[in-house]
């Protein structure tokens, strides 16, 4: 695959995702002024409303709807023949990784789906880092919130310690536990998942 141009002024970019659009868009606009098509859930439509040279196409990015996603992307090819696809988040990365061989466009570099999912799952990523001999903090994995007991965690890790879900992002569900009082008062409601 050839490298993208140093600026995208005469290029159309399709940004695919359900979040983080504004970070990707602002980053690109800091050095270029391309036409941008944002593809994702309806929440992304508001971003395109206030920008020139920006359009929105609603699409379901779940892997179960890959065939429809492929049709949506490829239907743009007649009007926009020279486009670069850029994922903005994990959802965009997953769907593009699964469908890139059936799309009529080039995509920015993406790892395979297994690698993307490994980077998104903190426990799998922790184990990957250990296998690569990267320094990692002492870590305990719990299958459920009910398994967590302050005294056992403190004995193993010391205090303070951090509790976080295996599959969150943007620090959602992350709790810093300084002592037993904080642990007891925390309901861990933001913790999405503690394992499979």
Of 116, 112, 88, 92, nearest in space to 101 by CA: 112
pLDDT at 3 over 80: no
Q: Looking at the whole model, is its pTM more than 0.85? A: no
The arrangement of secondary structure in 12-116, i.e. its CATH architecture, is: 3-Layer(aba) Sandwich (3.40)
Radius of gyration of the chain (CA): 21
> What's the mean pLDDT when you consider all of the chain?
83
User: From CA 160, how far away is CA 72, in angstroms rounded?
Assistant: 49
Cβ 84 vs Cβ 107: under 8 Å: yes
Give the pLDDT confidence of 111-160 residue by residue, as tens digits.
888 888 888 888 888 999 999 999 998 888 888 878 888 999 999 999 89
Q: What residues does CATH 3.40.50 cover in the chain?
A: 12-116
How high is the pLDDT of residue 194?
Answer: 45
As a whole-number percent, the residues of the chain with pLDDT over 70 amount to 88
Give the pLDDT confidence of 175-191 residue by residue, as tens digits.
888 888 888 887 765 55
């Amino acid at each position: 695959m050839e490298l993208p141009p140093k600026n995208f002024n005469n290029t159309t970019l399709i940004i695919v995702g359900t979040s983080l659009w504004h970070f990707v868009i602002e980053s690109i606009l800091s050095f270029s002024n391309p036409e941008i098509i944002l593809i994702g859930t309806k929440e992304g439509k508001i971003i395109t409303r206030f920008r020139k040279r920006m359009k929105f196409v609603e699409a379901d990015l779940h892997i179960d709807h890959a065939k429809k996603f492929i049709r949506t992307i490829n239907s743009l090819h007649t009007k926009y023949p020279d486009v670069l696809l850029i994922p903005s988040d994990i959802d965009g990365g997953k769907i593009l990784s699964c469908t890139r061989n059936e799309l009529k466009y080039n995509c920015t570099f993406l790892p395979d789906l297994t690698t993307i999912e490994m980077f998104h799952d903190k426990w799998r990523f922790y184990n990957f880092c250990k296998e690569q001999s990267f320094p990692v903090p002492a870590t305990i994995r719990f299958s459920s919130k009910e398994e967590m007991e302050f005294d056992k965690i403190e004995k193993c890790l010391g205090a303070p310690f951090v509790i976080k879900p295996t599959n969150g992002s943007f620090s959602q569900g992350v709790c810093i536990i300084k002592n037993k009082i904080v642990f007891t008062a925390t309901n861990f409601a933001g913790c999405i998942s503690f394992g499979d």
